[in-house]
């Protein structure tokens, strides 16, 4: 290659004298170039030496003698200091959604409540949530810790039966993701064309058995979509996807549901088994995977958002909670896009659309709240938008083909499932009642768990007042809800679901009192001597044990529905309750002077 002196001269001119001091150059770190001593050398107390520069370089580079250059450097140093201050202040105030923050800091770290119950000590807490602060009161850490059985296993009462490795389990579902098979293959669409003729029948079944418990879709539109699909065939759009999802939900829902009697037999061996289900899960998967192939064509229309809500409900039927969560997040994010659109003012001028939008909003909020009680994940933030409508209104619709059942249908509808206008309105009351129940319980548990288990021992009388007040609130909700659906003969399934929600709420409300009773032996003497407090504590603890003894058989007596995952999780938590009561009673039975608990006579069968 021929030597070119012009290029060599340019390269010599472009070379710039290093401005970093010798110490920073050796450490290969950034030097702030403060003269005569940089910040690092000043802090370390070492001599700060800058390399000498040649006259030629000084002509094109930094001139240390020029006072204007020194002024520029001082200003740059000042700006750099301000940036460092901002960076350090942001680091000190960690975000509540930071992954660096311990998600389960509120959990008891296998310590006795003795030291933490003494006056003058502060309970460890990673949250400052309050009931008045809508931004943090539904912190998923608090909701999960207040509901999960895994957190209960960290209590000191279980030290004898739980290993240290098991105490570090935060969530069975999230901590077992690596154990899922990696070679899972999705089921392929199998002959969906031969099932098109079944669509009208399955849409009617969806209307009768699924819609009134969770009225996500607009029935008139679903009726029209089903007719179009039957005549013109399936398309690759939202309406066809919605029809397929309705068929999938109808296929996995049993029409032979007979609720268990409220009087529980003492001998569980004599408990009558539920009737055989007529749900066809294979057919449901076929319809669902056909609908799933159309997800990529969905956008932000109301029908598209309904599709993701229906898909989430189906995943919950299939006991796939994480997949359900992903679908609900899709629905919430797409709804937020619509709510922020400039076109919304024109859309909401239509009363029917406004009511549908309100129903979509509250369905998304309800779905996230239901899932967050068992999944420690952050929601979409949709609730923080400040939606104006308190609750959706009951839609007034005209008669559709779903109101007229064919005599040749091959699924039997039990008494109470015939859905005229009055029955549909009662189902709507169940929908509204479920939203009220979940929001109320979230408010209650976030208030009780704002400082974790350690905070309960600071002011036990105040905690007991909270528990008894919450018990009255949830009992009033239950009584009002039952009054809205009248006799058990007319609505056995709705009464059964209301009763389940009521007892699940009591389980969460009684849990702080149960914790105090299980650790009575470790309490300081001045607290143990307050006899009246412990009368109330063990009274509530006995209610908690009896409530779990009632819930477990009720949980067993269920078909698949969209709350089946929550039912399974609650059943596990109730079993942990009984295990803790047994461990406590084993120790208490050795001392006749201590408080006793009464175990259910059939506790071995229950656990």
Tens-digit pLDDT profile for residues 515-533? 999 999 888 888 888 889 9
Provide the strand spans (E) within 131-281: none
Residue 278 CA to residue 414 CA, distance in Å, equals: 13
Using DSSP, how many helices (H) and how many strands (E) does the chain show? Answer: 25, 0
Residue (of 507, 607, 480, 500) closest to 564 by Cα position? 500
pLDDT given at position 190: 45
Tokens found for residue 338: 């619509």
What pLDDT shows up at residue 462?
A: 92
Give 2's contacts (C-beta < 8 A, 6+ positions apart): none
Closest CA to 259 of 270, 271, 279, 274: 274
pLDDT value of residue 193: 58
Cα(first)–Cα(last) distance of the chain, in Å? 86
Contacts 24+ apart (CB under 8 A), 297-303: 297/236, 297/237, 297/238, 297/241, 298/238, 298/241, 299/238, 299/334, 300/334, 300/337, 300/338, 301/238, 302/218, 302/338, 302/353, 302/356, 302/357, 302/360, 303/221, 303/238, 303/239, 303/242
Instruction: Give dist(CA 568, CA 321) in Å, integer.
Output: 12
Helix (H, G, I), strand (E, B) or coil at 259: coil
Q: What does the pLDDT read at residue 274?
A: 66
CB-CB contact of 145 with 455 (8 Å):
no
Q: Model-level pTM?
A: 0.72
Q: Kindly give the interhelix angle for 421-448 and 140-147, rounded to the nearest 10 degrees.
A: 100
430 with 213: CB under 8 angstroms?
yes
Q: Residue ranges of the chain with pLDDT lower than 70?
A: 1-18, 52-138, 178-194, 257-275, 389-390, 395-424, 426, 484-491, 557-560, 602-607
């Amino acid at each position: 290659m021929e030597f070119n002196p012009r290029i060599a001269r340019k390269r010599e001119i472009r070379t710039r004298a290093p401005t970093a001091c010798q110490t920073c150059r050796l450490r290969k770190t950034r030097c702030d170039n403060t003269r005569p001593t940089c910040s690092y050398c000043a802090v370390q107390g070492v001599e700060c030496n800058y390399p000498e520069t040649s006259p030629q370089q000084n002509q094109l580079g930094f001139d240390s003698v020029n006072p204007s250059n020194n002024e520029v450097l001082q200003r740059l140093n000042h700006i750099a200091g301000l940036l460092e201050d901002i960076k350090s202040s942001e680091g000190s105030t960690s975000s509540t959604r930071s992954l660096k923050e311990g998600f389960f800091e509120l959990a008891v770290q296998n310590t006795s409540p003795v030291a933490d119950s003494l006056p003058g000590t502060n309970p460890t807490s990673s949250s400052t949530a309050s009931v008045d602060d809508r931004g943090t009161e539904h912190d998923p850490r608090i909701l999960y810790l207040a509901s999960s059985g895994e957190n209960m296993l960290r209590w000191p009462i279980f030290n004898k039966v739980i290993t240290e490795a098991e105490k570090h389990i935060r969530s069975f579902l999230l901590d077992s993701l690596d154990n899922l098979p990696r070679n899972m293959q999705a089921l392929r669409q199998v002959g969906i064309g031969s099932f098109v003729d079944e669509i009208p029948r399955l849409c009617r079944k969806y209307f009768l058995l699924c819609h009134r418990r969770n009225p996500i879709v607009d029935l008139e539109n679903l009726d029209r979509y089903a007719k179009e699909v039957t005549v013109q065939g399936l398309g690759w759009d939202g309406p066809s996807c919605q029809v397929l999802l309705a068929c999938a939900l109808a296929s996995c829902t049993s029409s032979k549901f007979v609720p268990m009697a409220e009087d529980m037999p003492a001998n569980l061996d004599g408990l009558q088994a539920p009737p055989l289900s007529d749900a066809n899960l294979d057919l449901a998967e076929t319809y669902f995977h056909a609908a799933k192939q159309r997800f990529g064509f969905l956008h932000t229309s109301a029908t598209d958002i309904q599709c993701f809500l229906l898909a989430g409900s189906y995943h919950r039927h299939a006991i796939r909670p994480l997949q359900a969560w992903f679908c609900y997040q899709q629905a919430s994010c797409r709804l937020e896009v619509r709510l922020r659109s400039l076109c919304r003012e024109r859309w909401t001028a239509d009363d029917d659309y406004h009511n549908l939008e309100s129903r979509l909003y509250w369905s998304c909020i309800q779905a996230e709240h239901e899932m967050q009680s068992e999944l420690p994940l952050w929601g979409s933030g949709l609730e923080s938008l400040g939606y104006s409508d308190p609750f959706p209104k009951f839609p007034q619709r005209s008669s559709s083909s779903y109101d007229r059942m064919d005599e040749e249908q091959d699924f039997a509808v039990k008494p109470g499932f015939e859905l005229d206008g009055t029955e549909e309105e009662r189902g709507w009351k169940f929908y509204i009642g479920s939203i009220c129940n979940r929001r109320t319980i979230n408010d209650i548990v976030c208030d009780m768990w704002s400082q974790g288990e350690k905070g309960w021992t600071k002011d036990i009388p105040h905690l007991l007042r909270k528990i008894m007040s919450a018990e009255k609130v949830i009992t009033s909700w239950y009584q009002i809800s039952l009054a809205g659906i009248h006799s058990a003969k007319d609505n056995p399934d709705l009464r059964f679901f209301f009763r389940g929600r009521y007892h699940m709420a009591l389980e969460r409300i009684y849990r702080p009192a149960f914790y105090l009773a299980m650790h009575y032996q470790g309490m300081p003497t001045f607290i143990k001597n307050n006899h009246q407090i412990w009368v109330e504590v063990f009274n509530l603890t006995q209610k908690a044990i009896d409530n779990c003894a009632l819930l477990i058989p009720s949980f067993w007596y269920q078909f698949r529905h969209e709350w089946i995952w929550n039912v399974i999780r609650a059943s596990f938590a109730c079993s942990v309750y009984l295990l803790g009561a047994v461990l406590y009673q084993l120790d208490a039975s050795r001392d006749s002077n201590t408080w006793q608990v009464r175990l259910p006579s059939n506790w071995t069968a229950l656990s």
